[in-house]
Structure 1
Amino acid sequence: MVPVVMLIAGCVFGISASTSRGSDLRSDESQLRELVLARESAVNRYAAERNQLDKSVADLQQGIAGYDVSVAAAQKQAQALEQSAGLTALTGSGVEVSLNDAPLGPNGELPPGARPDDVVIHQSDVQGVVNAMWAAGVDAVTIMGKRLINTSAVLCVGNTLLLDGKTYSPPFVIAGIGDQNAIEQHLKDEPGLDLFFEAVDAFGLGYKVVRKSQISAPAYEGALGVSVATPIG
């Protein structure tokens, strides 16, 4: 179930990246929102089952490695790659970025000249920040405290964020562990954020960049797809 949700999210994410800001996934989304919320509990249940199965597999592998040299060698190779794959927790200095919807007037009125789509954070805005961080060569990226890997899919449904089958409301917090100067420069230079910065100035969208001496990025806990596998020995 989780891989299916991620696949769907990834497909929509790719399509929306090519659309202009203000039109991606911002039409009538009430039915999609209801579907996502209804399925979230099921995703959580399946994720718990998957985690238990992962643990059982790991225990079996560990047991076999005790007497099978080839399995032990393969495990050692895999462990050496875990950090770069995002499967181990990391802590270090970096930059934290917060994105938030624009404030409305006392009676809920929009800023002058704004449309409803202009005052909310879009999927492309979150993606732009993530792209800038990867381009800066960060060691790890998190959204709302959840670790991302290169296959992670993020989807905005209305003004909520769908990540690994769970929904989050703004402000959206994206953090990167790495060179702070490089991250800040890439945020300024990221083409995918040009329209967002215009909306920040024109309509008051929330954008906050803070240097952090310590950011914690947990190990990635989502599903891992295997496309190629060969037997050992």
Structure 2
Amino acid sequence: MNQHLHRAPVAAPPDAAAVPPSGRDGRWWPPRRIARGALAVGLVLALSGLMFTVNARASADGGSRHPQNLAELSQQEAATVERLSSEVDTLRAAVERLTDEQNAAAGLTPEPATAGQLVAGGTVPVTGPGLTVVLDDAPVESRRTDVNPDLLVVHQQDLQSVMNALWAGGAEAMGLMDQRVIATSAFRCVGNVLRLHGRIYSPPYVVQAVGDPVRLRAALAASPAVAGYVRDAGDLGLGWSVQDQTALELPAYSGATELTWADVPDGVDVLPGLPADEETT
């Protein structure tokens, strides 16, 4: 026997008189409710579509701002660092000017920095006699297969040895590549790439030191680490040259000068290379 099943209408609530009929036959049915999960999925899809559209438009409008290879990215970042460094120099000059104005308004007369302090701090350009030292990787065509390739490139410790020897020899100011370096400067070598103050350089690496050329040469000759590099330069073809200069021109330092973790130990010269009486004035 065939039985036809019919869904029984839901009993109307007590206040059904106040609720208008919702069925086609005039009977009352409970209103449908949209599931929370479905609503959340729809919202996520809508937001994803919006983000995709925004990213697509940004890529189309600013394609020139996104380099397509590492070389372009490196050049773009180097240009950005150079621009920001220039802005830092401008802001630092403005801070110094405003500080002087505030001191004058308050009737304060701070003791001016000596010439030696300005030079050692890198706040002024420097011109004078000195040395130019150039270090370079061994030429590719002259490299030997029986030698560890790691010995055929300039390393961070090689540059550090040269610069430390020049400081010990009485260098009053120093530059690495096209930047001024001071006692708090730090650089790193990654492979054969030098990173200094946010900029990237490739060999040959040029170190310039203002000071007595005779004393500077003697300090280089007295350094065991420098002597080891010079020996490898003769045996393996590494680049090495030292030239006297009558008028080196070094720019002012443009990096950060604040110290966060470092303190000067007792008995350490704050301004190496200067007479003791000038350091305390």
The percent of aligned pairs where both chains have the same amino acid is 33
Write the letter of the residue equivalent to 1:83.
Answer: V
Structure 1 residues not aligned, in runs of 5+:
1-32, 229-233
Higher relative contact order (CA 8 A, sep 6+): 1
Paired with 1:210 and 1:83, the residues of 2 have a C-alpha distance of: 23
Post-superposition offset of 1:164: 0.8
* Superposition map of 1:77-96 within 5 A: 77-78=112-113, 81-96=117-132
List per-residue Cα deviations over 1:120-174 (Å, max 9, x = no partner): 1111111111011000011111111311110000111211211111011111110
Shift of 1:180: 1.0
Work out whether residues 177 and 206 of structure 2, in 8 Å CA contact, stay in contact via their aligned partners in 1: yes
The answer to whether residue 236 in structure 2 is matched with residue 203 in structure 1 is yes
* 1:160-175 superposed matches below 5 A: 160-175=193-208
Is contact 1:104–1:111 with CA below 8 Å preserved after alignment? no
**Residue aligned with 1:102, SS:** coil
Please say which of residues 47-56 and 200-209 is displaced more in the overlay.
Answer: 47-56
Tell me the residue number matched to 2:245.
Answer: 212
TM-superposition CA deviations, 1:23-48 (whole Å, max 9, x none) = xxxxxxxxxx99x9485455445434
Aligned to 2:104: 66
Change in CA separation of 1:65 and 1:83 when aligned onto 2, cut-off 3 Å: same
**2-structure distance, mates of 1:42, 1:118:** 34
Check the 8 A contact 1:119/1:203 in 2, yes or no: yes
Amino acid at match of 1:59: R
Contact kept, 8 Å, 2:119 with 2:172, in 1: the verdict is no
The normalised TM-score by structure 1 is 0.72
Residue 62 of structure 1, CA deviation:
2.9
Specify every segment of 5 or more residues in structure 2 that has no aligned partner in the other structure, as ranges: 1-69, 263-281
CA contact (8 A) 2:132 2:242 kept: yes
Matched residue type, 1:221: S
**What is the number of equivalent residue pairs in this alignment?**
189
Look up the match of 1:125: 158
| Match of residue 156, structure 1, among 189, 194, 209 | 189
- What secondary structure, in the 3-state scheme, does the structure 1 residue paired with 2:189 have? strand
Kindly provide the amino acid, as one letter, of the partner of residue 208 in structure 2: A
Q: Is the 8 A contact 2:137 2:203 kept in 1?
A: yes
Supply the AA of the counterpart residue of 1:104. Answer: V
TM-score scaled by length of structure 2 = 0.60
Query: What pairs up with 1:4-83 in 2 under 5 angstroms?
Result: 37=74, 40=78, 43-70=81-108, 73-74=109-110, 76-78=111-113, 81-83=117-119
8 Å Cα contact 1:40/1:165 also seen in 2: yes
Query: Which of structure 1's runs of 4+ aligned residues deviate more than 6 A?
Result: none
What's 2:51 paired with? none
Which residue identity lines up with residue 88 of structure 2 in the other structure?
R
Instruction: Name the residue aligned to 1:193.
Output: 226
SS of the counterpart of 1:225?
Answer: coil
Q: Which amino acid in structure 2 is aligned with residue 150 of structure 1?
A: A
* Residue 118 (structure 1) shift: 1.4
Does residue 177 of structure 1 match 2:185? no
Residue 105 of structure 2 aligns to a residue in which SS?
A: coil
SS of 1:77 mapped into structure 2? coil
Does 2:142 correspond to 1:113?
A: no
Shift of 1:195: 2.9
Q: For the residues of structure 1 that align with 2:245 and 2:83, how far apart are their CA atoms?
A: 34
Other structure's SS at 2:135 match? strand
Contact residue 129 and residue 246 of structure 2 kept, 8 A: yes
Q: 1:60 to 1:79 in 2, by over 3 A?
A: farther
